[in-house]
Structure 1
Amino acid sequence: MLARLAPAERTRLHTIRIEMKHAPVTIAPGVKYAAWTFGGTVPGPALHVRQGDTVDFTLVNRANIPHSMDFHAAEIAPSKYYTNLMPGDSLHYRFVARVPGAFMYHCGTAPAAMHIANGMYGALVVDPATPLPKAREFVFVQSEFYLTPKPAADGTRSLEWEKLLSLAPDHVVFNGRAGQYASRPIEVRPNELLRLYVVNAGPNRISSFHVVGGIFERVYEGGSQASARVGVQTVNIPVGGGSIFQVRLREPGDYPFVTHAFADATKGAVGVLRALAPGETPSAQTPAMAH
């Protein structure tokens, strides 16, 4: 999965439709998981709007069990809008994204931990009304997988509930797959401004986000510009939370990004930002766009 965050469309009304479905996904080399998804991927699509924009949202349940949607960026009544959708049903509503930040969305159907652990989560980025400086932007969603000991007949693993309750994940990942940005680094240029939107979907583990060899110029914890911190090395992101990180990589080379809870990094929550040398040709992948 590419980490790029597409620019927010130049509109005040964003029409978003997401279908919930069960589908196999690859979560580590050689490991297929029987996931519950928003849109067929884990995490679900990265959504991007601006402060004050209206989201016109339609949710459709294509799965065979009830599911729902909880937007952390929305200030609406859960009893009206975060209700369970039965198979084949749909729900439509609008909300205004009033507060900027990096927000989680997820299925809230009970037990919510089960639905999240099975893959039903994603990120919604709300840009502030006064734009932040131009940067290359990336979005990372940290999460965990708790696997059954043996695969099913179709080769997929599924959720082991007792492991989840024991806080013993098999894989801790960024954007749904263990170590994907370590084996395929994200390429940038030295000294360009990078903005990382990091959401922690959990369902259990705190993320201690850190870029090895870098110091965050600014960190907007929870996305709030009023609480910006300067010159920060590591920031804890609670489960269900998100923060915005700005950093420059000062010279060519590889800069790992991790959760500094190293047991979790060892289980897959690690990637690499590669600052290319002058004249070095980028590979074919383009994991982020400036705006």
Structure 2
Amino acid sequence: MKNKKSILGLNIAGLVVLSSLLMQAEAKTVKVTMHAVEADLPFDNKGNTYRAWTFDGKVPGPVVRVTEGDTVEFTLINDKESKNSHSMDFHAARLDVVEDFDSIKPGETKKYTFTADHPGVFFYHCGSDPMIQHIARGMFGVIIVDPKDSNALPKADREYILIQSEYYANPDDKKIMMDNDWTNIMFNGGVFKYDPVHDSEATRWLQAKPGERVRVYFANAGPNEFSSLHPIAGIWDRVYPSGNPKNVMYGMQTYVVGPGDAVTLDLISPVEGANAIVNHSMRSAHSGAVAVIIFSNDADPEMGHGENILIR
């Protein structure tokens, strides 16, 4: 009997080790390189521009997507034409803020490695001084860490990324940022970017079919304002703070997201028509923080998939 127990114990131990090895084998190393670039970019549907500080010349920066357990090998290259030092702070990383998130001068390169230990959607941004200005001028984005268990979340039919930020009329004036004297609240770097209702020059909006589960990865870049996120004419079916499957809430009308935070929200419409995803702080909504999503049986099948989860 003692031998049988010993054999059983060894078998169980072997299975645990094998399972651990299989999970390690499934994890991969993802190489991510970004360039800090200072460029003139449009901030509204009319094509008006401002001098943005960016990752890869885009606001928001590139979407990074990995799986829980993956190793991220990150490289930041500060363009030699930049006038300022820049850095990278990944909220999905556990590192040394002094060493790894340190600023680099124009023409320099910074590298570090981290493991994406927790599933969810995480904010990333430039952390160089003054951080408030680097974020306000556009140096932010998201990293999505998909759970290693593919069944941890209900399957999404479409996915979209929305990042809230503030537009300051004079991006060189740090005082107006400290005074929170913004002019507009934007989604994905644009005023009414996805809202042809309030801006006749808007040409983009989100799309889905009735009954589809639409997953919204939302981050609040700030740098100052909170967001009270609500889908007008809809209800958030499920809400996952920080995007972690273990943090689940059901049937939420609004969810408050502070600066530097993120959330995953699922939306399902049983009927054709429109919802309007807004920051329900009305000054924010009326100044640009509205994204219209049209539910239609002839929705574009490309929308909400691949590169079209962040509509540029």
Q: TM-score, normalized by length of structure 1? A: 0.88
Tell me which protein shows more strand as a share of its residues: 1
Match of residue 104 from structure 2: 85
1:241 Cα offset (Å): 0.2
Match of residue 40 from structure 1: 57
State the alpha-carbon separation in 2 of the partners of residues 218 and 130 from structure 1: 18
State the alpha-carbon separation in 2 of the partners of residues 98 and 138 from structure 1: 23
> Unmatched 5+ residue regions in structure 2?
1-25, 197-203
Residue deviations 1:216-244 (CA, integer Å, cap 9, x gap): 11100122222211110100001000000
Judge which range, 161-170 or 106-115, deviates more.
161-170
Match of residue 17 from structure 2: none
Tell me which amino acid in the other structure corresponds to 1:97: A
Match of residue 137 from structure 1: 159
Extract structure 1 runs of 4+ deviating beyond 4 A. Answer: none
Residue deviations 1:42-100 (CA, integer Å, cap 9, x gap): 11011111110111111000022211110000011111110110110101121100011
- Percentage of identical aligned residues: 36
2:40 to 24, 48, 51: 24
Match of residue 90 from structure 2: 71
State the alpha-carbon separation in 2 of the partners of residues 124 and 139 from structure 1: 10
Q: TM-score, normalized by length of structure 2? A: 0.83
CA contact (8 A) 1:146 1:161 kept: no
Tell me which amino acid in the other structure corresponds to 1:227: N
1:248 to 268, 273, 280: 268
CA contact (8 A) 2:165 2:185 kept: yes
Tell me which amino acid in the other structure corresponds to 2:161: V
Tell me which protein shows more helix as a share of its residues: 2
Q: How does 1:1-291 map to 2 (within 5 A)?
A: 12-28=28-44, 29-62=46-79, 63-131=82-150, 132-135=153-156, 136-148=158-170, 158-183=171-196, 184-276=204-296, 278=297, 280=298, 282=299, 286-289=302-305
State the alpha-carbon separation in 1 of the partners of residues 90 and 184 from structure 2: 25
CA contact (8 A) 1:117 1:159 kept: no
- Classify the secondary structure of the residue corresponding to 2:49: strand
How many aligned residue pairs are there? 269
Tell me which amino acid in the other structure corresponds to 2:251: G
Q: Which has the larger radius of gyration?
A: 2
